[in-house]
Amino acid sequence: MQIHFQKMHGTLNDFVVFSDTENRIALSKTAVAQLCDRRSGIGADGVIVVRPSASAHFFMDYYNADGSTAEMCGNGIRCLAKYVYDNGLLKEKELLVETRAGIKNVSLNMGKDGFVESVEVDMGAPIFDPSEIPVSISAQQIPVLNHPLEVEGRIFHCSFVSMGNPHCVVFLNEDIEKFPSAYGPAIENHFLFPQKTNVEFVRVLSQSHLSMRVWERGSGETLSCGTGACAAAVVGILKKFVETPVAVDILGGSLLIKWDGSNATVIMSGPAKLVYYGTITL
């Protein structure tokens, strides 16, 4: 089977993207892992298949690098939006994208060359109920902030939120660039998280600026995570460390996150880039 793909990235969180609007291609976990392998395949943090939707313009069929499916990917949905517009699948600058976490409203910002340069996404309202994240704890107060969690002989004070996928946000006062990444998988696979979790290690730089490293469920440490940046900003606002809008620096760049609190939705803005295109045989 030949696949005509585009390699894309959002703040260096990279993806193999292709269209299957007739639902002819079924991807196995092995096939996804092969595509994402950085030595024997194309190399990526995940695979995005543009599929038809009965309730939106398109469905984002997203896979982690290990072949598991994910509910949502913030950097990935920006790349999908650029893909469908730049390739003529849709010529509207406002579109609806169905994901496993629901339908997202997406707005396109054009560059001088007429192609999509950046994308704004309404990510929906954050979810704090542990049963819906999910986190296996009985919470007397929601949202759950600063829950002590011991892994690898160290206690972390964790805050839990879902942005359509589960997140464990940890604020630190140390240099996160030198922070041991081994704590990521230990938290991801902790028994508290029945569906595993994404992990954000965050440091406050100012009242409007955060720095973050992320360990993504099913992909390992990545250079960026859009839903993770949203989760970090939301928790930072709840803790009164920052005020909206919040710039979140990740290893691959920066994302702008807006959240007005309470039941408001989270708005994420950031770039989407085409790296190259080609054909691969699976």
pLDDT in tens, 89-102: 999 999 999 999 99
Q: Is 0.85 topped by the overall pTM?
A: yes
For the segment 243-268, the average pLDDT, to the nearest whole number, is: 96
Mean pLDDT of the chain: 96
DSSP annotation string for 235-264: HHHHTTS--SSEEEEETTEEEEEE--STTP
What pLDDT is stored for residue 9 in this prediction? 98
Catalytic residue set: 73, 225
Contact assessment for residue 177 and residue 213, using Cβ atoms and an 8 Å cutoff: yes
Rg of the chain over all Cα atoms, to the nearest angstrom: 18
For the segment 13-26, the average pLDDT, to the nearest whole number, is: 96
What pLDDT is stored for residue 140 in this prediction? 83
* CA dist., res. 217 & res. 230, Å (int): 16
What pLDDT is stored for residue 1 in this prediction? 82
pLDDT in tens, 109-158: 999 999 999 999 999 999 999 999 999 998 889 999 999 999 999 999 99
List the domains of the chain with CATH numbers.
2-124+270-281 (3.10.310.10), 147-264 (3.10.310.10)
* CA dist., res. 206 & res. 23, Å (int): 47
At residue 267, does pLDDT exceed 90? Answer: yes
